[in-house]
Structure 1
Amino acid sequence: MVSVAIITAAIIVILSIFNGLGDLLRSLNDSFDPEIKIEAALGKSFPVNEVLLKKVQGVQGVEAVTEVIEDYAFARYNQANQPVTIKGVSDNFITQQRIPEDKIIDGALKLRDNNINYALIGYGVGAALSIDLRNDFFPLQLYYVKNVKAGSLDPSQMYTQKNITPGGIFSIVQNFDERYIIVPLKFAEELLNYGNKRTALEIKLKKGADVTRTQRALKDVLGESFKVLNSEEQHEDLYRVLHLEKFFASIASVILLIIGSINIYFNLMMLAIDKKKDISVLAACGADAGLLKRIFIMEGILIALIGTVVGLAAGALIVFVQQKYGLVSMGMEASVVEGYPVQLKLTDFLYVSGAMLLITTLISSRPALLASRFASVQNL
């Protein structure tokens, strides 16, 4: 029982860690990523006009549509240089609170003020470029390499360059902070030479709208020329790795459960041998082989059940203490959360309980068969 309880508790803790990491990734990505994102099925951009925007806005559940131009560029500030990702967004990006006020660690949350364009800069980019928001002497210079024809000798024709005033520094998660500079859509359109093309349309849903239903409706309206992605599909590779890791952890947990059940197997085998005389007495009293099989199988199930219940309770208690007090830290100074993220899920409890009972029932059949043979010998 003790071995089953320890293994069960360990499995619950391990699975809860994967749950916690998944929830943490979703919360971090959801704070910056849209609920639904529309991209071109082929290529990296597509033309956007009023007809297309009205189609999207007319879908039930859609509250706002943000036009996005996103591409790589080169940033220069004073004497520092850094490759960055420029994200040009329409004006409603700010009003949607896609970057909460508490994520602005310096400056102000703004992209335009009195016809002046401002850039919101990721903390990692700002640190690499040594940007000082209180120094107006140096503008942020952004360069974009154009597709030029072969044989061009004029260097100025190979790129476009525009200056913008740094307006604020944001910090969301390292992956975003070290890459992104957010600018007004019109500024990005001119810098990146996109014209009426956009790399994405980002959708904000109405309160209470069903994501899956709205996503399906958008796919029906837009057809095969567009990809309509929910929040998890926008980071498909990342979540696929996480699900794969949890899958293999689940397989490993089954192996651990089998190891724990081997103790039950040997216990029942020794019990069958030790209780040989008692089995003979039961057989003499009229107990048939089926009854003796059931006795030993129920014995195995009882051991597994008590051990599993104790293990589930212990695992849940460990996870609760970790959630409440964060006793085990991430071990990194720059981590987003101090304590290791954990999350209990009912499906994990059902999975472990079902697997343990199934394995125990199967593994108890051999000792039960041995006991029934002792009864058969006595009857002879």
Structure 2
Amino acid sequence: MIGVAVGTMALVVVLSVFNGLEDLVRGLYASFDAELKIEPAMGKSFEADENWIRGIQEVEGVALLTEVIEDNALFRYRDNQHLAKIKGVSAAYLEDPDRFAEGYVWGELDLGTESQPRAIVGRGVGFFLSLDLDNEFELLQVYYPKAPRSAGSIDPNQLYNRDIIKPAAFFSIEKDFDDNYIIAPISFVSKLLNYGQKRTSLEIKVAEGHKLQTVKRRLRQHLGEDFLVKDTDEQHASILRTIQIEKLFVFITLSFILAIASFNIFFSLSMMAIEKKKDTAILFAMGAREKLVKHIYLKQGAIIAFSGALIGLVIGFAIVWVQDNFGLVSLGISSSIIDSYPVKIVWTDFLWTSIAVIAITFLASYRPAIIASKVKSTDL
């Protein structure tokens, strides 16, 4: 029973950690990405005039709409260079109250004006370029290649667009964002990239009181098949799928370990069947049938299974609750945005763990029950 309880507890704790990691990833991405993202079904960009944008804003449930132009560019600060993504956003980007809710921000969250644009820089990019927010005389230089022309030119300045922008703040959310993103006003990026009215995506903030999936369905109906509308999970489907697959394999692995531990039940019931041969023979002499004897041993296994599962579930729940409320097990990383391992209790995990434990224990009890039911008085 102790082995069953320990295995059950381990399953509950480990699955809760994976749930916590999945929630943490969702929270981190949600503070940088939009709740809904509109992208072209084909191609990299699309034309977005004012009337078309206004039509999307009038869809029921749309609270904020941010126009986005995103592409790779080369950044230079003093003698340092770094290739990263420049993300041009409209003014609504910083109006979202959940923007950068997770993570850290240094400096002033301000994109400046059209004449004096300012950039919000990922911490990793700032480290690579050795940016100094307090230096008023050094500005960030941005280079973007021009479209190729038929006639060549010996002047390298004709091969790229160049502009300057002042870094205003650093953000730190997740390494992939920190090392690869610089956020700037959309007017600055549109001019640098020669995009005009073209956009690479639109980001939607859902109004309070409206269900995200409902608004997503309305936008799909409004936009038609030429555009994709993705929620947060769909925007990062690969990493979330990876976490779920890892969780599944961990569940299978721990269930296999639990199956090995259940050999104790198998041998215990087998020894009991041997020791109780005389008692079993007496039962048969009194008129008991094989089915009754088999049920006796199966019920003995069921008692072990339910007792072990219940104890393991209670202890596992207690450990997860303590970790969630007090954070006893620390990550040990001073720069992390969280201090302790994230955990989350999902009741379906308790259900599947209980089913796995009971099924494994039942299988371990079945063979001893068959052996005991075959005992006859002539065998003594």
Scaled by the length of structure 1, what TM-score is found? 0.94
AA at the equivalent of 2:120: L
Structure-1 residue corresponding to 2:95 = 95
The equivalences for 1:331-342 within 5 A come to: 331-342=332-343
1:106 lines up with 2:106 in the alignment: yes
1:83 lines up with 2:83 in the alignment: yes
Structure-2 residue corresponding to 1:37 = 37
Structure 1 residues 147 and 113: alpha-carbon distance in aligned structure 2, compared to 1, 3 A threshold: closer
CA distance in 2, matches of 1:53, 1:127: 37
1:322 lines up with 2:323 in the alignment: yes
Structure-2 residue corresponding to 1:178 = 179
Structure 1 position 286, deviation (Å): 2.4
CA contact (8 A) 2:219 2:229 kept: yes
Return 109-118 or 226-235, whichever deviates more. Answer: 109-118
AA at the equivalent of 2:141: Q
1:234 lines up with 2:235 in the alignment: yes
Structure-2 residue corresponding to 1:165 = 166
AA at the equivalent of 2:187: K
- SS of 1:232's equivalent in the other structure is helix
Structure 1 residues 101 and 309: alpha-carbon distance in aligned structure 2, compared to 1, 3 A threshold: closer
CA contact (8 A) 2:255 2:356 kept: yes
1:346 lines up with 2:347 in the alignment: yes
Structure 1 position 19, deviation (Å): 0.8
1:71 lines up with 2:78 in the alignment: no
Structure 1 position 66, deviation (Å): 0.6
- SS of 2:335's equivalent in the other structure is coil
CA distance in 2, matches of 1:256, 1:55: 57
CA distance in 1, matches of 2:98, 2:308: 47
AA at the equivalent of 2:294: K
- SS of 1:116's equivalent in the other structure is coil
Return 321-330 or 350-359, whichever deviates more. Answer: 321-330
Return 286-295 or 359-368, whichever deviates more. Answer: 359-368
The equivalences for 1:179-218 within 5 A come to: 179-218=180-219
Structure-1 residue corresponding to 2:146 = 146
- SS of 1:318's equivalent in the other structure is helix
> What is the root-mean-square deviation of aligned Cα atoms in Å?
2.1
Deviation string for 1:202-243 (max 9, x for gaps)?
000011211112212222222221111110111111111111
* Structure 2: runs of 5+ lacking an equivalent: none
CA contact (8 A) 1:279 1:371 kept: yes
- SS of 1:29's equivalent in the other structure is helix
- SS of 1:52's equivalent in the other structure is helix
Structure-2 residue corresponding to 1:312 = 313
AA at the equivalent of 2:111: L
Deviation string for 1:71-119 (max 9, x for gaps)?
1111111222111210100111111135348966432111125852111
Structure 1 residues 58 and 33: alpha-carbon distance in aligned structure 2, compared to 1, 3 A threshold: same
Structure 1 residues 200 and 370: alpha-carbon distance in aligned structure 2, compared to 1, 3 A threshold: same
- SS of 1:112's equivalent in the other structure is coil
AA at the equivalent of 1:5: A
CA distance in 1, matches of 2:220, 2:293: 61
Return 23-32 or 258-267, whichever deviates more. Answer: 258-267
AA at the equivalent of 2:317: A
CA contact (8 A) 2:110 2:120 kept: yes
- SS of 2:163's equivalent in the other structure is strand
- SS of 2:374's equivalent in the other structure is helix
AA at the equivalent of 1:196: Q
Structure-2 residue corresponding to 1:119 = 119
- SS of 2:375's equivalent in the other structure is helix
Structure 1 position 245, deviation (Å): 0.6
Structure-2 residue corresponding to 1:4 = 4
Deviation string for 1:27-66 (max 9, x for gaps)?
1111111001111111221111234323322322211111
Structure 1 position 70, deviation (Å): 0.5
1:257 lines up with 2:263 in the alignment: no
Scaled by the length of structure 2, what TM-score is found? 0.94
Structure 1 position 325, deviation (Å): 3.2
CA contact (8 A) 2:266 2:365 kept: yes
CA contact (8 A) 1:146 1:158 kept: yes
CA distance in 1, matches of 2:87, 2:6: 50
Structure 1 residues 101 and 302: alpha-carbon distance in aligned structure 2, compared to 1, 3 A threshold: closer
CA distance in 1, matches of 2:362, 2:7: 18
CA distance in 2, matches of 1:113, 1:188: 13
Structure 1 residues 98 and 163: alpha-carbon distance in aligned structure 2, compared to 1, 3 A threshold: farther
CA distance in 2, matches of 1:304, 1:103: 44
CA contact (8 A) 1:33 1:231 kept: yes
Return 365-374 or 55-64, whichever deviates more. Answer: 55-64
Deviation string for 1:117-155 (max 9, x for gaps)?
111111222222222222211111111112212542132
CA distance in 1, matches of 2:106, 2:364: 63
CA contact (8 A) 1:104 1:168 kept: no
Structure 1 position 249, deviation (Å): 1.1
CA distance in 2, matches of 1:55, 1:75: 36
Identity %, equivalent residues: 44
* Structure 1: runs of 5+ lacking an equivalent: none
